[in-house]
Amino acid sequence: MSSKVTRISNWIDYRLPIISMMKHELNEYPTPKNLNYWWNFGSLAGIVLMVMIISGIFLAMHYDPNTKNAFDSVEHIMRDVNGGWFLRYLHMNGASMFFIVVYIHIFRGMYYGSYKYPRELLWILGVVILLLMMATAFMGYVLPWGQMSFWGATVITNLFSAFPFGDSIVEWLWGGYSVDNPTLNRFFALHYLFPFLIVGVVFLHLIALHQHGSNNPLGIDRKEPRDSIPFHPYYTVKDLFGLGIFAFIWAFFIFFAPNFFGEPDNYIEADPLVTPPHIVPEWYFLPFYAILRSIPHKVAGVLAMVGAIFVLFFLPWLDTCKVRSAKFRPIYKKLFWLFVVNCFVLGFVGAHSPDEVFYYLGGMSNQELGQITTILYFAFFIIAVPLLGMFEKTTPLPASISEPVNRGGDRRKKSRQEAAA
């Protein structure tokens, strides 16, 4: 029986080497043995992408991309389609989960210097994926055709009016003189297409990853065979364990707080004549939205917002420090965490109205807070990171992954040696 299977797989593999390729890339693929749990988020992102595509396809079977029926068809999914509420809440919360996973994945890359030589293209492909994800999420949010969908679409597409020939670009995007049926139709078409583009770039991302293998928490290259272990079973089980915990959190939102990340206004059907009092984008856009709003000039604001993402493309060259991991970069490590906190503050700013005043911040207005955090955001990339590359004194690196000899060595190993003695 099994020999028959082997014979068939050999026959196929001789002609189309997918089986040996998969074995090589997913099974034997040598991986640093010291990856911590922050390395789970890459595979999690891949799994979420698959779940989003599959749930999206099934939702598309019931959704109607017509302004007259879109809102009703979503309610039809929620009320009539068998298990429709599950599919929709899975997809809706999946978008938030996807961004949580990807943001952690990006922060991990920044902390451990995963964007540095020879992984610059790997990083750039990742930023491309982020951009595609943002476009996909934005267009997906328009589809339920609620008030936030409509006004979010209106405001975001109007960003393009900041550019030369802006009005013509915006009309081209809309396919009319306002966000309307043509807009919804094309957004649906593109929302269906983009995830497959993401899959394509993810493949490139993986090819680039497998060229030099994963970075690791020490940020040093592997030197000897015992530094590596095969991906399977070690990281497959670790990823599955991580998936279990992650799915638990995801399921909690789907079943018990499905609208936690959403806005009540999106349960009111789109009305082109009434703008809701507070328009806020989805939480994952809030930091960028804050940057847009904190600059009191239309073109400059749009450029700053776009620049906040595009600056990531240049990170491998802004950071000239040869040491990858923040473990051995005492100042970078502190600034990194300040940067993370700053991103959260930007998110907070984005969620609040610009003229709000915070008395616990000495009467600072939200606009001012946004301006300070915007400056800090860019200062991190443009000033702090390049300067640290020049002046930071890094701590000594360990000799190899298997022999960590820095700062008194591995504590656990030491105690084990003591116990043996």
Partner 1 sequence: MKKLLTTAIVLAIFYVSHAIAGGDDTETLVRQDWAFEGMTGTFDREDLQHGFQVYKEVCAACHGIKRIRFRELSSLGYNEDEIKAIAAGYEVKVGPDDMGEMYDRAARPSDAFPPPYANDKAARAANNGALPPDLSLISKARVGGADYLYSLLTGYGGEVPAGQEVSEGLYYNPWFPGHQIAMVPPLQEGIVTYSDGSSPSIAEMAKAVTTFLAWAAEPEMETRKQSGIEALIYLAVFSLLMYLVMRQVWSRVEK
Partner 2 sequence: MTKATAPGKTITRRNFLTLTAGAVGAIGTAKLIWPFINSMNPSADVLAQSTTDVDLSPIAEGQGITVIWRGKPIFIRHRTKQEIAEAERTPMADLLDPQPDSDRVKKGKDQWLVLIGICTHLGCIPTGQAPNSNRGKYDGWYCPCHGSLYDTSGRVRRGPAPTNLVVPPYVFTDGSNIRIGVEEETTNV
Q: Which of 311, 301, 275, 355 is nearest to 159 (CA)?
A: 301
Rounded to whole angstroms, how far apart are CA atoms 310 and 288? 12
| Amino acid letter for position 210 | H
DSSP secondary structure, 144-205, as one string: T-BHHHHHHHHHHHHGGGGSTTHHHHHHHHHTSSSS-HHHHHHHHHHHHHHHHHHHHHHHHH
Give catalytic status of residue 400 as yes or no: no
- Whole-number minimum distance, CB 113 to partner 2, in Å? 35
Give catalytic status of residue 282 as yes or no: yes
Cβ neighbours around 113 below 10 Å, total: 24
By the rule CB under 8 A, 84 interacts with partner 2: yes
Q: CB–CB of 287/350 below 8 Å? A: yes
List the catalytic residue out of 62, 238, 298, 333.
Answer: 238
Select from partner 1, partner 2, none the partner in contact with residue 58, using the beta carbon and a kind-dependent cut-off of 5 to 8 Å: partner 2
Q: Between helices 366-379 and 298-318, what is the axis angle to 10°? A: 30
Rounded to whole angstroms, how far apart are CA atoms 299 and 161? 9
Task: Give the residue, chosen from 1, 5, 61, 390, that forms a contact with partner 2 under the rule CB under 8 A.
Answer: 61
Select from partner 2, partner 1, none the partner in contact with residue 33, using the beta carbon and a kind-dependent cut-off of 5 to 8 Å: partner 1
Task: Give the residue, chosen from 4, 15, 79, 412, that forms a contact with partner 2 under the rule CB under 8 A.
Answer: 79
By the rule CB under 8 A, 238 interacts with partner 2: no
Q: Which of 213, 209, 208, 218 is nearest to 324 (CA)?
A: 218
Rounded to whole angstroms, how far apart are CA atoms 385 and 318? 6
By the rule CB under 8 A, 47 interacts with partner 2: no
Question: Per-residue x/- mask for partner 2, residues 2 to 41, rule CB under 8 A?
Answer: ----------------------------------------
Rounded to whole angstroms, how far apart are CA atoms 335 and 343? 12
Give catalytic status of residue 238 as yes or no: yes
Task: Give the residue, chosen from 55, 154, 294, 366, that forms a contact with partner 2 under the rule CB under 8 A.
Answer: 55
Give catalytic status of residue 4 as yes or no: no
Task: List contacts with partner 1 (CB under 8 A).
Answer: 33, 36-38, 75, 78-79, 85-86, 89, 226, 229, 233-234, 237-238, 240-241, 243-245, 247-248, 251-252, 254-256, 258-259, 264-265, 267-268, 277, 280, 283, 286, 337, 340-341, 344, 347-348, 351-352, 402, 410, 412-413, 416
- Whole-number minimum distance, CB 189 to partner 2, in Å? 22
By the rule CB under 8 A, 54 interacts with partner 2: yes
Instruction: Tokens for 152, please give them.
Output: 């979010």
Rounded to whole angstroms, how far apart are CA atoms 127 and 314? 10
List the catalytic residue out of 263, 265, 282, 319.
Answer: 282
List the catalytic residue out of 43, 214, 294, 325.
Answer: 214
Where along the sequence are the contacts to partner 2 (CB under 8 A)?
54-55, 58, 61-62, 76, 79-84, 86-87, 240
Residues tagged active-site: 210, 214, 238-239, 282
